Structure 1
Amino acid sequence: MIHYGYTAASVLAVLVAVVVDLLVLRTRILRTKLFWATYGIVIFFQLIVNGVLTGLGIVQYDPRVIVGVRLAYAPLEDLGFGFGLVTLTLILWVRLEQQARRRQRTTAAGTTSTTTTATTSIDRTTHR
């Protein structure tokens, strides 16, 4: 009996990453050239590492739980998991950076108006 549990989980990882990026957090990194250039570098090294680990038999996969398509000895499903892992990490990183920038702008706006008010008050008292 064949069960494609690993394949289903891999597809789910890809779908979750896409949905989180485009619909939930709306970072839209999947629409940028920078993401795809970065991911190209990541996938290159992922294939090298997966190829070594699976080619030497250090990591083995039950053929009943994968589709059977391999790239550099690694099952295709590993690319889906890698995509999900890398993409979700970058999405969260971008989101946290966006939030930090918003906080800085809010703090800077509050500090600027307070500083301006304080400076104006000081100027008025020294020039009397």
Structure 2
Amino acid sequence: MSYTLLAVLCVPIAVVIDRWVARTRITGTRDWWSAYAIIVFFQLLTNGWLTGRRIVQYDPRTILGNERVVLLGEWRILFAPVEDLLFGFGLVLTSCVAWTWLGRSRREEAR
């Protein structure tokens, strides 16, 4: 399975978990989107530094674009493949959902 396919699947899976499985509905709040904007900024800086310096390299057969590492274009944003943004969204959202859901569960147990 390619990194592109995995990254594309991460977004709807994370949203389904948020909205209908755990029912935390984090993505419906301004706090989530404000916090996520900050996270994306630092994600782009970190990923850009790592991929721009070729510390992290991707197999061009598993991502959109090719092996050329460019600042912007060819399916890259600040040197990193766009798949990193999709995967990052899924990872961060699922982590926040788990944190929120576990917090609710503990509060209910304490009652």
Q: Same fold (TM over 0.5)?
A: yes
Q: Deviations over 1:18-50 (max 9, x none)?
A: 110011111000100000011111110000010
Q: Residue 9 of structure 1: CA displacement? A: 0.3
Q: Return the match for 2:64 from 67, 72, 78.
A: 67
Q: What is the root-mean-square deviation in Å for CA atoms of aligned residues? A: 1.1
Higher CA-based Rg: 1
Q: Is 2:6 the counterpart of 1:9?
A: yes
More deviation, 44-53/64-73: 64-73
- Match of residue 35 from structure 1: 32
Report what 1:102 is aligned to.
108
Residue aligning to 2:72: none
Moved over 3 A (4+): none
Instruction: Please give the TM-score of this superposition, normalised by the length of structure 1.
Output: 0.76
Cα distance in 2 for residues equivalent to 1:92 and 1:28: 12
TM-score norm. by structure 2 comes to 0.87
Gaps of 5+ in 1: 107-128
CA distance, structure 2, for counterparts of residue 102 and residue 65 of structure 1: 44
Q: Which runs of 5+ in 2 are unaligned?
A: 66-74
Hey, what does 1:89 align to over in structure 2?
A: 95
Task: State yes or no: 1:26 paired with 2:23.
Answer: yes
The residue identity in structure 1 corresponding to 2:39 is V
2:53 paired with 1:53: no
State how far apart, in whole Å, the 2-side matches of 1:89 and 1:6 are: 20
Q: How many residues align?
A: 102
